[in-house]
């Protein structure tokens, strides 16, 4: 099996930030962390120590990704950024430029 055949067998991956990837066919929902029920759920899963994958690398959590397996992934990227990456197949494997854009939104453009 050559590299091209292997690439076709691998399901598409979504970069949820900092080179952490999730299988796109396992994603059920992208939810903001702002609501109290979502915050309580994340706190509960942190206490239990199961089914929670923290992909924020110490940054503030902005989006919660629910997977069909019942696991939850925390991302430092917004759900809008992740949804854009999902809607553009060529951006699914994208590196980190979108994160840099978010971090510099408030800086004036020259």
Q: Summarize pLDDT for 15-69 with one digit per residue, the tens.
A: 999 999 999 999 999 999 999 999 999 999 999 999 999 999 999 999 999 999 9
Is residue 99 assigned to a domain? no
Is residue 106 assigned to a domain? no
Full residue range of the structural domain in which residue 54 is found: 3-94
Is residue 48 assigned to a domain? yes
Place of tokens 């590196």: 95
Is residue 105 assigned to a domain? no
pLDDT band at 110 (very low <50, low <70, confident <90, very high): very low
Segment holding 48, helix H or strand E: helix 36-48
Nearest-CA neighbor of 79 among 36, 41, 32? 32
Output the pLDDT for position 1: 58
Is residue 109 assigned to a domain? no
Is residue 81 assigned to a domain? yes
Domain count, the chain: 1
Q: How many CA atoms lie within 13 A of 82 on its CB side?
A: 29
Q: Region 95-99: what's the mean pLDDT?
A: 52
Alpha-carbon gap, residue 43 to 37, rounded angstroms: 10
Report whether pLDDT(90) > 90: no
CA distances from 42 to 15, 80, 82, 83, 95 (A): 21, 20, 19, 21, 26
For the full predicted model, state whether its pTM sits above 0.85.
no
């Amino acid at each position: 099996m050559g590299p091209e055949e292997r690439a076709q067998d691998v399901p598409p991956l979504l970069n949820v930030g900092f080179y952490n990837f999730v299988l796109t066919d396992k994603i059920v929902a992208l939810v903001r962390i702002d609501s109290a029920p979502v915050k309580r759920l994340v706190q509960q899963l942190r206490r239990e120590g199961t089914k929670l994958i923290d992909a924020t690398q110490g940054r503030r959590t902005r989006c919660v990704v629910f997977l069909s397996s019942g696991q939850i992934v925390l991302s430092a990227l917004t759900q809008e950024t992740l949804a854009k990456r999902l809607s553009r197949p060529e951006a699914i494997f994208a590196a980190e430029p979108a994160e840099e854009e978010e971090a510099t939104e408030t800086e004036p453009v020259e």
